[in-house]
Amino acid sequence: MSAVQSLINDVSQKTHALKTAQALYNRQLSPSFNTFDYINTNEVGLSRILAALLDPKGSHAQQENFLRLFVEHCLPVIYKSDNWQIFLNNLEKTEVFLEETTGKSNTQRRMDIYLRCQVGDDSYGICIENKPYAADQLDQMKDYAIELKNRKHKPWHLVYLNEDNDVPSEYSVDTTTLESWITSNQYSHLRFSDLIGWLKACQVECQNHSVSEFIAQLIKFIQKQFMGIQDMSEDNAILDIIKKNAATIDASIKVSNTVNRMKKELIAKLKIDLLAKYKKADYELDISYIGEGRRYEQIRLIIPGYDMGWVCFEFDNADFDRPILGIKFTSVEAAKACSYTEKMKMVLNTMLTNKKVNSSAQWPAYYYFDPQDWKGSSEAWLMINEGTMADKILGEMDVVFNTLKANGCFKKYQFENLV
């Protein structure tokens, strides 16, 4: 038996044994329970949670310890900078604001999380732009920098928090300006997965069991939502098998090298299935924007005579992960100019009772497609292999199209909004 086949067999047997044990002790372990399944975890909800932990005067009652650990673990350029030492010595004076309006720059944006610390005549400011799901807005980061400057902060710092992009898009800040911030230690990029080290350090120092358990649940949420880790016990068991010896390490690398190829081949099969199962309707199927695994790859239903947008199935993350489904416009400007955007969300929210419909700058109405986790779970890939995923995608896109059409949302674009 080859080392690769032996590795696959060992992993399969181990995961089967873990599932059997979980089934036997399900009532005692409650492995699927997580507090965050019952908490609002949209962008504002996550900002509220992080702001509460960072606040030295927060109800966690751990004073400035969580903030100190955050700077130490997540913002090393501040932690090591001489310009920030007075701030670090006076963390207990820090005020934390949520959705703070940018009044000093007259841009009327909202900073997701804003930290301000006044020490004598010196003022320190940190803006955390939280981007778990939404796309960047035009000049967004540049406007936040202007706001921090206008607030007369001695040193200021911008933090861009997301999981996939290394930097904000040029739509939000141009490359030259961003590089100048980095050179001046005024910018940090932070991934949600980077928060794990900070949160675990908070657990160690936390002296309250309820707060510590809340942090543990937050860690589990981040691992599942942003890292694709469904079950840490299973993940650790597989890791132990992989690291067992040189042969298993070599075999795991060979398996890993073929995973992306397998996904692309299954996506190619999905495209064939979509074409085979697509039936002529009031729209045209377009599968030319999917196949390489880049972020925002999509399947479109093109509506003849309607050039404002399309019904869209899109991967929000790279490597075919986190799909969303809804109506997408050709640009943010087109969405702003259309008089039907609010109606689209209201219609889908009312008619699709089993979906949580959201909206963003370019998406008047969308929801997260189930299965959502295409990175850490095999469910979606098994459905493609079995030929059932194409039916599900086409079926749901058809429902979105017909629901919007029946409620008059695809009327010819009116130009009065451009006058």
- Per residue in 314-347, pLDDT (tens digit) is 998 888 988 999 999 998 888 888 888 889 999 9
Q: How far apart are CA 216 and CA 238, in angstroms?
A: 22
Strands 95-101 and 156-162, sheet pairing: unpaired
Q: How far apart are CA 272 and CA 122, in angstroms?
A: 63
- Residue type at 165 in one-letter notation: N
Compute the average pLDDT of residues 103-110.
87
Q: Is the pLDDT of residue 126 over 50?
A: yes
Say which residue, 243 or 12, is predicted with more confidence: 243
Looking up tokens 């795991």 gives: 252
CB atoms within 10 A of CB 15: 15
284 sits in which H/E element: strand 284-286
> In 3D, which of 201, 107, 198 has the Cα closest to residue 159?
198
- Residues pairing with 30 in the sheet: none
Of the pLDDT bands very low, low, confident and very high (cuts 50, 70, 90), residue 164 is confident
Average pLDDT, the chain: 86
What does the pLDDT read at residue 258? 78
What does the pLDDT read at residue 373? 85
Backbone angles phi, psi at 382, to 5 degrees: -65, -40
**Quick one: angle between helices 175-183 and 140-150, nearest 10?**
40
Q: How far apart are CA 16 and CA 362, in angstroms?
A: 43
- Residues pairing with 302 in the sheet: 284
Backbone angles phi, psi at 324, to 5 degrees: -125, 160
Q: How far apart are CA 341 and CA 38, in angstroms?
A: 29
Compute the average pLDDT of residues 205-223.
92
DSSP 8-state symbol, 358:
B
What does the pLDDT read at residue 72? 95
- DSSP string covering 18-68, please? HHHHHHHTHHHH-TT--GGGGS--SHHHHHHHHHHHH-TTSTT--TTHHHH
* Lowest mean pLDDT segment, chosen from 137-146, 215-224, 252-261: 252-261
- Per residue in 353-377, pLDDT (tens digit) is 888 898 888 899 999 999 988 987 8
Q: Are 262 and 380 in contact (CB under 8 A)?
A: no
> In 3D, which of 130, 135, 48 has the Cα closest to residue 324?
135
What does the pLDDT read at residue 259? 80
* Lowest mean pLDDT segment, chosen from 147-151, 218-222, 402-406, 410-414: 410-414
What does the pLDDT read at residue 300? 96
Task: Give the tokens for residue 245.
Answer: 């010896």
Looking up tokens 């909202």 gives: 110
CA–centroid distance for 236 within its chain = 24
| Dihedral, 109, 113, 118, 124 alpha carbons, nearest 10 | -80
- Per residue in 233-281, pLDDT (tens digit) is 556 666 676 677 776 666 666 667 778 888 999 999 999 999 999 988 8
CB atoms within 10 A of CB 136: 19
Quick one: what percent of the chain has pLDDT higher than 70?
A: 84
Q: Are 187 and 178 in contact (CB under 8 A)?
A: yes
What does the pLDDT read at residue 60? 96
What does the pLDDT read at residue 180? 95
What does the pLDDT read at residue 170? 85
* Model confidence pTM above 0.75: no
326 sits in which H/E element: strand 321-329
**Quick one: angle between helices 246-277 and 379-386, nearest 10?**
50
371 three-class SS? coil
Q: Are 391 and 331 in contact (CB under 8 A)?
A: no
Domain boundaries, the chain: 3-37+215-255, 40-193, 259-418
Q: How far is CA 237 from CA 12, 14, 15, 234, 240, in A?
A: 11, 7, 8, 5, 5
> In 3D, which of 412, 370, 397 has the Cα closest to residue 311?
397
- Per residue in 47-68, pLDDT (tens digit) is 999 999 999 999 999 999 999 9
What does the pLDDT read at residue 37? 79
92 three-class SS? helix
Task: Give the tokens for residue 50.
Answer: 């992080």
Q: How far apart are CA 18 and CA 328, in angstroms?
A: 42
Of the pLDDT bands very low, low, confident and very high (cuts 50, 70, 90), residue 42 is confident
Say which residue, 334 or 383, is predicted with more confidence: 383
Q: Are 297 and 289 in contact (CB under 8 A)?
A: yes
> In 3D, which of 370, 364, 374 has the Cα closest to residue 311?
364
Q: How far apart are CA 359 and CA 336, in angstroms?
A: 12
